[in-house]
Structure 1
Amino acid sequence: MKKVRLRHLVQVNPLTRAFDLLSDDDELTFLPMEAVWSGSRLDTSHRRRKASVAVGYTRFQDGDVLVPKITPTFEAGRAVLIGGLIGGVGAGTTELHVLRPGPRIDARFLLYVVSTHGFLKFGAAEMYGVAGQQRVPDRYLRDLMISLPDLEDQRRIADFLDVETRKIEDLVSRKRHLVALLEERCDSKILSHVGASALVAGAAGEPTLPVRRLLAKVVRPPIADLGVVTAYRDGRVTARSLRRAEGYTLSASTEAQGQSVVPGDVVIHGLDGFAGAIGTSEASGNCSPVYHVCEPHNGGDSDYFGRLLRLLALQGYLGNFATSTRERAVDFRNWDLFGRIPLPVMPVDEQCEVGASIRRIRPLKELVERSAVLAAERRQALITAAVTGQFDVSTASGRNVTEGITA
């Protein structure tokens, strides 16, 4: 098997002439970083007009392989083979490298090459920049030396991996879907109460009260030697050391500062809350003064309030009361302003019932995510072994190559 540098097989970050041929009003597919996931989790539903992305964005076309360049997304192996773009052309975050395959390499095989353990490990070692903002240079991609089978073998390997990785992804997807159904039951009960309240039904609806009558804002001094607690956009509030370093807006250093948080606090990000960064803290630590840290009045349930506020934020309700916005945030750092927002009043016993359901789901969700991590490791090991020729895919058994992955 011959060794070839990648620059002889692909164009790295090439021009996309098809983009230039579009008119300013033409619609195209847009990929923010949060939409870039391997396999079936890739989200190509975002749309933009060409004029709005003509400057300052990465351009690509059907058949390109997109490789995230910034930590920790690069290390997570979230490269994608893009297809199905509107008009065959797209634009996205500048944190993407674009690889355009030439005639000597199969696009699917290329995707699997940039998903191997070795590619990700050595790419991480080549990163440059400050902590938390490190990037893989395109030089690493251009100079990468790969083992290149002939095209027939490349396609055979890609066919095999398409089938086997899909099995792994489907197992994880089914588990996540089960958790999502349980979460939807909780959300449905909360939203049905919102629908019956004066927020929706008007004067004939159930009563409402301003946030400050339902939640008390607390400000505790920071505690040395405790880690940073972060509100993530998926609604989880926990120590940053226990989570990936993405899915939040950077607003806290690793030094003790701002205020401290304890488990059970309702935490609202004053700028990123509109995007879902609201929830109930699972850990002790320190957080930025940008956050509102609250406790329920009168025996209210903190998990209920964390979920209620997040649902209202994602539906755009909270944003209706903002007096200041910026490109990617609604500004609610002013507690006096936020505290005036009316919320539906649910009886405490019903709050506690919803909160108990949320708490029962949490350990199941953590178990599913741990199994997803193991599945991702298994997937990467399988890809690495197949691409590097550690076994012959033409004789491999689908049963034994996925051994250890269970539903």
Structure 2
Amino acid sequence: MILDLAPWLENSRWQTVPISFLARQGTGHTPSRQHPEYWENCTIPWITLADVWQLRDGTRHTVTETKEKISLLGLAHSAAVVHPKGTVILSRTASVGFSGIMGADMATSQDFATWTCGPKLLPRFLLHALRAMAPDLKRLAAGSTHKTIYMPDIERLRIPVPALEEQRRIADFLDAETAHIDRLSALRSKQVELVGERASSLIAGRVEELASVNGWIRLKRGLRSIEQGWSPQCHDIEAGVDECAVLKTSAVSSGVFRGEQHKLLPPELEPDLRYLVRDGDLLMTRGSGSPRLVGVAAVADTKGRKLLLSDLLYRLRLHPGWSSTFVASVLASSPVRSRMRLLMRGQSGQTIKLRAEDIREISIPRLAVDDQSGWAKEVDRVRAEANALMRSLERSIELLEERRRAVVTAAVTGELDVTTAGRGSFV
């Protein structure tokens, strides 16, 4: 039942009906790649999952540009169709639940459901209703590899149906109200960025001061060994508390360890415990398409999870007395990162790597072993204060998003009377 999917629809002042009663439902297709002639003289805008980025944050309503186009010949030899401007789209595969409106006549891949609205349904009202339903749609998605909302479930989707003029008032109100909330959210995001930049600047100053007094030293002086991880075939889903998982590269990001960034090791595959990550291990990213994501280090805190080192990460074992937190802190600083980039191999857009022998040549500020932990604690204090403020700002962004969804659901169901509601009064 659709009310099981979106129980808030029960509160609608208006009757709910299947979208297909008010709009022509469709989808798309991909012309065969085995026929190069289908991909010549491509002129028809073709929406694919590569275009979903435009819709992810919900601030853009209309898709006017597509990464790819298809040809008239490809169209004629596939199940793809050209939908008219104003058609509403919903991503239903992999990136599930993102919606928008076609800004021109366009085709789509099979990863989208489409609705071309009839005279009793306003595309902008349908768009807001679908966006209110986005969290519910993600729960509906099924599949172990790529999450998908199957077409029979798409056909069951219902929306409230006020009179057309009421739909227009609701859409106008929500366009203005959500834009106001989005502006506030963007300001909060900018504050998060500025707090992070200030903390990085303070830490960079401490590193430069330390190096100016004590000079630089090669990291190999403190390194005992460098170990590369494992590369088993894993499921891209989160592991349970007692299940074994392999860390992703994103587990080491911006000098912070994120143990939740992992892939589930299949239960039939015996874990290689040589690669078991332990609390206090110093981990470093090995390669990426972006230099800023290469050579990033963090100290592991597994929180009791069974996590394995992947082949995309290194484990750096230090000599006794050397502080992993000190090394991770200085490796994250801009003065050390600028020196590190000179050692990276590869070009942007391709895989950029740091080899084990390159890591040994990284220069870090010299500091007596006995002083490393104290220095790292002071830097951690600066970073912790910044992180606490950033978390507070990020929570305010989450609350704004919750308010945004609440306003949209209340408006499309008629719980909120938009004719009397004041603009900007819901944040």
Letter in 1 for 2:167: Q
User: CA 1:170/1:215 → structure 2, altered by over 3 Å: closer, same or farther?
Assistant: farther
Q: Would you say 1:292 and 2:342 are equivalent positions? A: no
The match for 1:197 is none
Find the partner of 2:420 among 376, 391, 395. Answer: 395
Instruction: Write out aligned runs for 1:32-181 (5 A).
Output: 36-40=55-59, 48=67, 50=69, 63-70=86-93, 74=96, 78-81=98-101, 83=103, 96-104=111-119, 105-117=121-133, 120-121=135-136, 123-124=137-138, 126-130=140-144, 133-181=146-194
Q: CA deviation at 1:27?
A: 10
Q: Which structure has the larger Rg over C-alpha atoms?
A: 2
Q: Unpaired segments of 5 or more residues in structure 2?
A: 1-13, 32-37, 208-214, 231-240
CA distance in 1, matches of 2:26, 2:170: 23
CA distance in 1, matches of 2:216, 2:100: 46
Q: Would you say 1:253 and 2:270 are equivalent positions? A: no
CA distance in 2, matches of 1:51, 1:166: 33
Instruction: Write out aligned runs for 1:230-309 (5 A).
Output: 230-232=248-250, 235=254, 237-240=257-260, 253=265, 258-262=275-279, 265-268=282-285, 270=287, 276=293, 278-281=296-299, 283-284=301-302, 285=305, 286-290=307-311, 291-294=313-316, 299=323, 300-306=326-332
CA contact (8 A) 2:223 2:316 kept: yes
Deviations 1:194-250 (A, max 9, x none): 9xxxxxxxxxxxx9877656766566999x94875554286453121xxxxxxx7x6
CA contact (8 A) 1:238 1:281 kept: no
The match for 1:183 is 196
CA contact (8 A) 1:259 1:289 kept: no
Give aligned pairs, total: 360
CA distance in 2, matches of 1:124, 1:318: 43
Q: CA deviation at 1:253?
A: 2.7
Q: CA deviation at 1:374?
A: 2.6
User: CA 1:26/1:66 → structure 2, altered by over 3 Å: closer, same or farther?
Assistant: closer
The match for 1:12 is 26
Q: Would you say 1:330 and 2:330 are equivalent positions? A: no
CA distance in 1, matches of 2:292, 2:61: 19
TM-score (norm 2): 0.62
Percent identical among aligned pairs is: 20
User: CA 1:387/1:49 → structure 2, altered by over 3 Å: closer, same or farther?
Assistant: closer
Letter in 1 for 2:92: K
CA distance in 2, matches of 1:50, 1:312: 40
Letter in 2 for 1:389: G
Which range moves more in the overlay, 22-31 or 280-289? 22-31
Q: Would you say 1:366 and 2:381 are equivalent positions? A: no
CA contact (8 A) 1:69 1:96 kept: yes
Q: Unpaired segments of 5 or more residues in structure 1?
A: 195-206, 241-247
Letter in 1 for 2:149: V
Deviations 1:167-202 (A, max 9, x none): 3222222122112012234556789999xxxxxxxx
TM-score (norm 1): 0.65
CA distance in 2, matches of 1:97, 1:78: 9
Q: Would you say 1:376 and 2:394 are equivalent positions? A: no
The match for 1:243 is none
Q: Secondary structure at the match of 1:395?
A: coil
Letter in 1 for 2:114: L
Q: CA deviation at 1:149?
A: 2.0
The match for 1:321 is 345
User: CA 1:152/1:37 → structure 2, altered by over 3 Å: closer, same or farther?
Assistant: same
CA distance in 2, matches of 1:46, 1:215: 51
CA distance in 2, matches of 1:44, 1:192: 44
Q: Secondary structure at the match of 2:178?
A: helix
CA contact (8 A) 2:47 2:66 kept: yes
